[in-house]
Chain A
Amino acid sequence: MWSFSKISKLIDSWLSVHFSSTWTMVIEMVIAGIAVITLFALLGLVLVLMERRVAAWIQIRLGPNRVGPGGMLQSLADTLKLLVKEGMTPDGADKFLFNLAPFIAMIVAMLLMAPIAFASDFQLWNLNIGVLYVTAISSLMVISILMAGWASNNKYSLMGAMRSGAQIVSYELSAGLSIMSIVVLSGSLNLNEIILSQADGWWIFKGHIPVVIAFIIFIIAVTAETNRAPFDLAEAESELTAGFHTEYSGMKFALFFLAEYINVFIVCAIGATLFLGGWMPLHIGHWQAFNHVMDFIPSSIWFFGKTFFLIFLIMWFRWTFPRLRIDQLLDLEWKYLLPISIFNILLITLMAILGWHF
């Protein structure tokens, strides 16, 4: 099978012949960084276009279809527009924090990219505490939103930021507990090992109903954590005009926008990795022939297929549901999702100890 590791090993051996080991490492890091940024930009373009096409499909209209074949260059044109737009800083804003906030949003999203396994041998950083790293770094997202809301010197922005703060901090609990349920089952914090533990079946199939419940709670919680409808209270267009990024324009706005989509991609990638087996093909017990056929589909297609399925699900939510009110939002988390998650993780722990899963 064709794989990324051949290319990376080729580059590595070529570099180590020509440079000292320190320089090899530095150059490899730069290449990896460029790869992440490129992937970042490409994903942003694809996801924005996908959102618009999905929205159009749900809303019985056509969506972008004029720029390029099938409207594929539309997001590129939008990016160009945003690049040449003036990035204004309002009077009375805390200039340093105001300009820093979008970059923090971006950096957090980039950091989250590191431990994700895109294919069977394509992972930037095989971190042994990958799950912990992801949950820890994703909490930093709230800082950029609070910073943007506070520094804008705008009451709408501040209200959006305060809402977002309450929301992200709350929903992290049940997202974390859902993630932990898979850690309990697989016995590892390493994302790659979690994927390998699903070689004989994905956790959503192996883990019976408790894992399905954990998966549903995970999807709800990450939708809230990424500030997407029906939990988009931080932006709440009809209430707060644009929430925390009301005062942002041009590329600074684009960075927030991009970070939102990348975050959606990342949480869906994590969801696909934990519950749907990441790049692991669909294997069913002892059906050797079936499993063999499934192995022929490249692992990257499995990973992106699952991830984009979850992204589609989250987009579907956005274009179907009305927005919750702030007190209902917090009620949902603290009165329903969190108690269910706590009970559920106890059940899963029991299941893991007694070996009741497949």
Chain B
Amino acid sequence: MVEEIGSTAAGDIIINVGPQHPATHGVLHLVITINGETIQKVEPHLGYIHRSIEKMCESLTYRQFIYVTSRMDYLSSHINNHACALCVEKGLQIEVPSRAQVIRVLMDELTRIASHELWWGAMAMDLGAFTPFFHAFREREAINDIMEETCGARLTMNYMVPGGVMQDIHPNFQRRVKEFIALFKSKVNEYNELVTGNIIFQNRMKGVGNLSAADAISFGCTGPTARGSGVSCDIRKLYPYEIYETLNFEEILETGGDSFARYMVRVREMSQSISIIEQLIDNIPEGDFQAKTKAVLKLPKGEFYQRVETARGEFGVYMVSEGGTTPYRIKYRSPGFSNLSALDHMARGSKLGDLVAMMGTLDLVIPDIDR
């Protein structure tokens, strides 16, 4: 147990960052040991927003438990729901109609862009620039409007159901997505002018928070955090689900391993998601949006695992069924938890201001870490 107040024998000061702190974007508690401005140790204390979602899911039916997962990583709720729906479909061996598959992928990629937009704004805000946050929200708002029309919700969409999606897309969907693509393309240069190309920003990001490829693997980092260190780990490429193998997109890899590399991965990923949406938006096949399923779903006895690529990394659902109407055991593998564990390694020896920048590039969503 760390002594919360006071200082160590070496003259280091111990500071509690959080659970209420502007930089943690939630109730994360970091106990940091600093010497002057130099960080000696970072110790994350978790559990402030633990809601025992896994246990909750075990008492809900296979149709119901999907909705709870929207509350984990609330910025990519579609993709969480998607993983759970895929897992149930795997157990029941349901064939999902191709229209539903395309809609799901479209929604996933829109969610990924929305999540990266928010991250981009929050990242700049961590570094003391407030304006990018509002600029990012302008584009994110357009996505939220699309979601609102089709799913009926803006944040916790609950749109994926076992066998497809809950309802068909709104008649305006295609038009508004195209409008969004045009808007995004006209504004993406603004991002580079305002933040990426800024000399202060580059000096703050380059060479700090170094994470080697070997360390990224040993800490279990996934998603843009690991891809910034050159580790190929995009689940959409390595273990394709839905129609991802038929799509033409590239896995973004940066070799820098520093905060700037992680930043660039996410910024470039937004353009890749746009290209995926462009490939699909005019080619949504006709047909059912949902497969015919029984009213009460019962998975056969066994273990099922499904992984997907969320905006933050690899999200896995491990489900054990005893043959009943509710799962016997559910375990989620959330990307934020593993990514956070690399923070101590990255932060040692750097300045206090860099810690905030590193936490920004890890793109932490606290309910995803604690569940």
CB of A322 within 8 A of CB of B129, answer yes
What CA separation (Å) do A327 and B200 show in the bound complex?
Answer: 12
Interface core residue of A229, A236, A325, A326 (most chain B CB under 10 Å): A325
Given known pairs A60-B138, A61-B134, the reply for A321 and B22 (CB within 8 Å) is no
CB of A322 within 8 A of CB of B198, answer yes
The stretch from B72-80, B120-128, B299-307, B310-318 touching chain A is B120-128
Question: Closest CB-CB distance, A231 to chain B, in whole Å?
Answer: 10
What CA separation (Å) do A322 and B201 show in the bound complex?
Answer: 6
Check: A202 CB closer than 8 A to any chain B CB. Answer: no
Check: B148 CB closer than 8 A to any chain A CB. Answer: no
Question: Closest CB-CB distance, B308 to chain A, in whole Å?
Answer: 31
Check: A155 CB closer than 8 A to any chain B CB. Answer: yes
Question: Closest CB-CB distance, B205 to chain A, in whole Å?
Answer: 9
Chain B residue contacts of A325, Cβ below 8 A: 203-204, 351, 353-354
Question: Closest CB-CB distance, A136 to chain B, in whole Å?
Answer: 30
Residues of A that sit less than 8 Å from B by CB: 55, 58-61, 155-156, 159, 229-230, 232-233, 236-239, 241, 319-328
Please pick, from B13, B21, B200, B355, the residue contacting A321 in the complex, using a CB distance under 8 A: B200
Interface string of B104-145 (1 = CB under 8 A from A): 000000000000000000001111111101110010000000
Residues of B that sit less than 8 Å from A by CB: 13, 15, 21-23, 37, 124-131, 133-135, 138, 194-195, 198, 200-201, 203-204, 351-356
CB of A237 within 8 A of CB of B22, answer yes
CB of A230 within 8 A of CB of B353, answer no
CB of A322 within 8 A of CB of B356, answer no
Please pick, from A60, A229, A324, the residue contacting B204 in the complex, using a CB distance under 8 A: A324
What CA separation (Å) do A97 and B350 show in the bound complex?
Answer: 33
CB of B134 within 8 A of CB of A321, answer no
Question: Closest CB-CB distance, A307 to chain B, in whole Å?
Answer: 24
Given known pairs A230-B200, A322-B200, the reply for A238 and B22 (CB within 8 Å) is yes
What CA separation (Å) do A55 and B135 show in the bound complex?
Answer: 12
Would you call the interface of chain B mostly helix, strand, loop, or mixed? helix
What residue in chain B is nearest A323 (Cβ atoms)?
B128
Question: Closest CB-CB distance, A211 to chain B, in whole Å?
Answer: 25
CB of B128 within 8 A of CB of A320, answer no
Question: Closest CB-CB distance, B115 to chain A, in whole Å?
Answer: 20
What residue in chain A is nearest B124 (Cβ atoms)?
A322
Chain A residue contacts of B134, Cβ below 8 A: 59-61
What CA separation (Å) do A11 and B208 show in the bound complex?
Answer: 64
CB of A239 within 8 A of CB of B203, answer no
CB of A236 within 8 A of CB of B353, answer yes
What CA separation (Å) do A230 and B130 show in the bound complex?
Answer: 11
CB of B128 within 8 A of CB of A236, answer yes
CB of A322 within 8 A of CB of B127, answer yes
Given known pairs A239-B353, A324-B204, the reply for A59 and B130 (CB within 8 Å) is yes
Chain A residue contacts of B130, Cβ below 8 A: 55, 59, 319
What CA separation (Å) do A320 and B13 show in the bound complex?
Answer: 33
What residue in chain A is nearest B205 (Cβ atoms)?
A322
CB of A60 within 8 A of CB of B135, answer yes
Please pick, from B125, B131, B194, B198, the residue contacting A238 in the complex, using a CB distance under 8 A: B125
What residue in chain B is nearest A331 (Cβ atoms)?
B203
CB of B22 within 8 A of CB of A232, answer no
CB of B200 within 8 A of CB of A159, answer no
CB of B131 within 8 A of CB of A326, answer no
What residue in chain A is nearest B134 (Cβ atoms)?
A59
Chain B residue contacts of A323, Cβ below 8 A: 127-129, 200, 204, 353
What CA separation (Å) do A156 and B200 show in the bound complex?
Answer: 24
What CA separation (Å) do A318 and B157 show in the bound complex?
Answer: 36
CB of A59 within 8 A of CB of B22, answer no
Interface core residue of B127, B135, B195 (most chain A CB under 10 Å): B127
What residue in chain B is nearest A155 (Cβ atoms)?
B15
CB of A238 within 8 A of CB of B23, answer yes
Please pick, from B21, B126, B131, the residue contacting A241 in the complex, using a CB distance under 8 A: B21
CB of A322 within 8 A of CB of B135, answer no
What CA separation (Å) do A229 and B128 show in the bound complex?
Answer: 8
What CA separation (Å) do A305 and B21 show in the bound complex?
Answer: 40
CB of A230 within 8 A of CB of B128, answer yes
What CA separation (Å) do A155 and B12 show in the bound complex?
Answer: 12
Chain A residue contacts of B198, Cβ below 8 A: 321-322
